[in-house]
Amino acid sequence: MRFVSKLPDVGTTIFTVMSQLAAEHGAINLSQGFPDFPCAPALLDAASSAMQAGHNQYAPMAGLPALRQALAAKLLASQQIPVDPETEITITAGATQALFTAIAAVLHAGDEAILLDPSYDSYAPAIRAQGATPVRLNLSAPTFAIDWAAVEAAVTPRTRLIIVNNPNNPATSVFSNSDLDALAAIVEHHDLLVLADEVYEHLVYDGITHRSVLSHPALRARSFAVYSFGKTFHATGWKVGYCVAPPLLSAEFRKVHQFLVFSVNTPMQHALAHHLAQPVHWQQLSAFYQAKRDRLANGLTAVGFRLQPSQSTYFQLADFTTIRDDLSDVEFARWLTLEHGVASIPVSAFYGDGRDDRLVRFCFAKRDDTIDSALARLAKLAN
Ligand SMILES: Cc1ncc(COP(=O)(O)O)c(C=O)c1O
């Protein structure tokens, strides 16, 4: 059989590779981004009650009305953003499906989409699966500031979409108002669309405010904004997320969505709708994770890593050159896993050209005792 792969260079992701390596060598896994603590018991009870109550058949295509209404109420109450739950919110099988769906709904073969690296690993393959081309611009450590003139210079007559991740995994950088203004000026001038991955919207630290594309009128009119309940409710395995976009964009999004998954896990949607109506869990997230960030960051600094404070997400970047200057980031991550029993992610994996700034990413969405055990293992580095 002759088969021409659409994604010939795509292999197993670095997240799977490092998690497997961690499991094989009994390492503490601070690589992949998932909590090792349970989600709220009330959320589990709500999911179980929904199943017992018989909510086990297909949900409406766009999502359970009660869940979409709860999300619209949350956006209004927390950010004063009015959204029509009927025509502007679609529930998805995690953020990953929302990202793929928006990309498939927008890009025609031959189009270009601009990505800012380091970027989440699903964007480029999703673009290429449409016969479109990712145009990747590198952001540099330590600030990962966006050079908007360079972004505009990358726009061609084929450009249709700019993908941004704010707050950014793995850079942990957060957009300022001037970033939003600069993005808006480019997309208005060149008549482009925006796909804003905002899954870490609630995980921002040190008093920094997350500014959504939804809060910016010019961007609101041309953006798909994507979110994940996995990140917000410590339930990455549930794979439920949503996309907010104006009616025209949501209608096109749903054309793809209904033939990709049709609808999303019904009992989980009931549970999430119920949970969103309870006292506001997400408002405690920043303080909860900031304490974990500080716990990990203090320990990593003490054993010799050079750190920038993590501004957002549940990741901490660490410059390891003070510990091993002779290794690439991939070699260092492997060495740390095998020799010191702690797994991390090499940041070059987030760059299309494999740029290596000698940084590894640690996840601090872990129990305090997990963080402490990892730091105890790394204490030998200080000797
Ligand atoms: C930036 C970013 N976007 C999207 C996702 C995927 O979210 P979900 O698990 O809801 O598909 C992740 C998960 O790590 C992420 O870090």
Within this chain, do residues 106 and 207 fall inside the same structural domain, yes or no? yes
| Nearest of 324, 103, 306, 325 to residue 194 by alpha carbon | 103
Distance 123 CA to ligand 1 centre (A): 11
To test the pocket of ligand 1, the residue of 13, 144, 169, 243 to mutate (highest count of ligand atoms within 8 Å of its CB) is 169
- Same structural domain for residues 168 and 264? yes
> Cβ neighbours of residue 96 under 8 Å, at least 6 residues apart?
122, 239, 241
**311 part of a folded domain:** yes
Hey, is 92 helix, strand or coil? strand
Q: Which atom of ligand 1 is nearest to the CA of 230?
A: 10
Residue 309 pLDDT more than 90? Answer: no
- What pLDDT is stored for residue 308 in this prediction? 84
Does 82 share its domain with 198?
A: yes
User: What pLDDT score does 348 carry?
Assistant: 96
Give the per-residue pLDDT at 78. 85
Residues 147-185 pLDDT 10s: 999 999 999 999 999 999 999 999 999 999 999 999 999
Question: How many structural domains compose the chain?
Answer: 2
Among 278, 309, 327, residue at a domain's last position: 278
The length of the chain is: 383
**Of the candidates 247, 278, 309, which is a domain's last residue?**
278
**Domain carrying residue 73:** 55-278
| Domain annotation covers residue 368 | yes
* Cβ of residue 168 lying under 6 Å from some atom of ligand 1: no
CATH number of the domain residue 26 falls in: 3.90.1150.10
Instruction: Single out the residue of 183, 194, 202 nearest to residue 283, CA to CA.
Output: 202
C-alpha 180/C-alpha 212 separation (Å) is 8
Give the long-range contacts of residues 103-107, CB within 8 A, separation 24 or more. 103/127, 103/130, 103/132, 103/161, 103/163, 103/195, 104/129, 104/130, 104/256, 104/260, 105/249, 105/252, 105/253, 105/255, 105/256, 106/160, 106/161, 106/193, 106/195, 106/252, 107/131, 107/132, 107/160, 107/161
Per-residue pLDDT reduced to its tens digit, 206-262: 999 999 999 999 999 999 999 999 989 999 999 999 999 999 999 999 999 999 999
Q: In what order do the strands lie in the sheet with 241-244?
A: 89-92, 241-244, 223-228, 193-197, 159-165, 112-117, 133-138
Q: Is the Cβ–Cβ distance between 196 and 60 less than 8 Å?
A: no
Same domain, 92 and 125: yes
CA dihedral of 349, 354, 355, 359, whole degrees rounded to 10: 30
Give, in order, the Cα–Cα distances in Å from 295 to each of 285, 341, 354. 16, 19, 30
The answer to whether residue 46 is domain-embedded is no
74/106 same-domain check: yes
> Which CATH number is 184's domain given?
3.40.640.10
Question: Which of residues 224, 255, 278 is at a domain's end?
Answer: 278
* Same-domain pairing of 304 and 178: no
In a domain, 6, yes or no: no
Q: Is the domain of 83 the same as that of 218?
A: yes
- DSSP label of 108: P
Q: CA-to-CA distance for 272 and 253, rounded, in angstroms?
A: 22
Distance CA 356, CA 330 (A): 9
Residues 330 and 273 placed together within one structural domain of the fold: no
Ligand 1 site, residue 241, Cβ cutoff 6 A: yes
The per-residue pLDDT for 279 is 72
96 lines ligand 1 (CB under 6 A): yes
Residue 4 lies in a domain: no
Residue 8 resides in a domain: no
- Structural contact between residues 200 and 169, judged by C-beta atoms closer than 8 angstroms: yes
pLDDT at 352: 94
pLDDT at 383 over 70: no
Q: Given a cut of 90, is residue 347 above it in pLDDT?
A: yes
**Distance between CA atoms of residues 163 and 140, nearest Å:** 17
Please provide the average confidence, as pLDDT, over all residues in the chain.
96
Nearest-atom index, ligand 1, CA of 228: 10
Residue 294 lies in a domain: yes
Give φ, ψ of 351 to 5 degrees. Answer: -110, 135
Model pLDDT for residues 131-142, shown as the tens digit of each residue? 999 999 999 999
Joined together, the tokens standing for residue 69 give 């209404």
Instruction: Judge if 135 and 220 occupy the same domain.
Output: yes
Q: Quickly state the pLDDT bin for 277 (edges 50, 70, 90).
A: confident
Pocket test for ligand 1, best of 231, 268, 310, 347 (most atoms within 8 A of CB): 231
The reply to whether 42 falls in a domain is no
| One domain for residues 169 and 313 | no
Please say whether the beta carbons of 136 and 352 come within 8 A: yes
Tracing tokens 């580095």 back to the chain, one arrives at 381
* Shared domain check, 303 and 358: yes
> Is the pLDDT score of 281 beyond 80?
no
Mean pLDDT of 25-44: 94
CA 346, CA 76: separation in Å to the nearest integer? 38
Q: Are residues 137 and 252 in the same domain?
A: yes
Distance (Å) from CA 169 to ligand 1 centroid? 9
Look up residue 266 and give its amino acid: T
Q: Residue 50 and residue 93: Cα distance in Å, rounded?
A: 18
pLDDT tens-digit readout, 2-14: 999 999 988 888 8
* CA gap 245, 83 in Å, rounded: 9
d(CA 377, CA 163): 38
Residue 381, pLDDT above cutoff 90: no
Alpha helices by DSSP H, listed for 109-200, are 123-128, 148-153, 177-189
Phi, psi at residue 25, to the nearest 5°? -110, 15
